[in-house]
Amino acid sequence: MAMKPKLVDAFNAQIQAEFQSAYTYLGMAAWFTENNLPGFAQWMRIQWQEETMHAMKLHDFLHSRGESVTLRALVAPSKKYSSAVQVFEQVRKHEQSITASINDLYELALKEKDLPSQIVLQWFINEQVEEEALVMEIIERLKLVGSDGPSVYLLDRQMAVRPTPTTGTTA
């Protein structure tokens, strides 16, 4: 069963949002590298990989349904940050906006009675709950250590051990 055009367009918009997320995190990784925090940079590079995988999961889903993918332009990410806490506050806001857009997409899938879309989007809803919780944990840790050099250094080392995502583009 073909997808309704409005739903296909919304999926393409979400693909763009996921790629924009990846690009944003790559910019944040560059900021951390330039500020001698390689562990945080590594964490952001892994986040970049995850967001790219999310985009490809949606990309592959559209193709599996016989629909066309229309890639959209990305905006250059900001690199104007003053601290690691500020970066992760931006991550939190960004993830909340992605959660809202996925929730809107799910609501549209419900309205259009597109069960396969609802199933794939449920995976994204669960993923967003995890993403937001992880970011809040990091923000709390950063606030706890403050700007104390040795504490930030130790936290940076902890951030470097984040495992690389191993899941493919389908779940």
Q: What residue spans define the domains of the chain?
A: 5-64+82-159
pLDDT for 167: 54
Q: Distance of CA 15 to CAs 88, 91, 124, Å?
A: 23, 18, 12
Query: Is 5-64+82-159 assigned to CATH 1.10.8.60?
Result: no
- Please compute, for residue 47, the number of CA atoms within 13 A of its CA located in the half-sphere on the CB side: 30
pLDDT for 166: 65
Q: pLDDT digits over 87-128, tens only?
A: 999 999 999 999 999 999 999 999 999 999 999 999 999 999
**Mean pLDDT of each 10-residue bin along the chain, 171 residues long:** 95 98 97 96 96 98 98 94 94 97 98 98 97 96 87 90 64 39
Q: How would you class 168 by CB atoms within 10 Å of its CB: exposed for 0-12, middle for 13-18, buried for 19 or more?
A: exposed
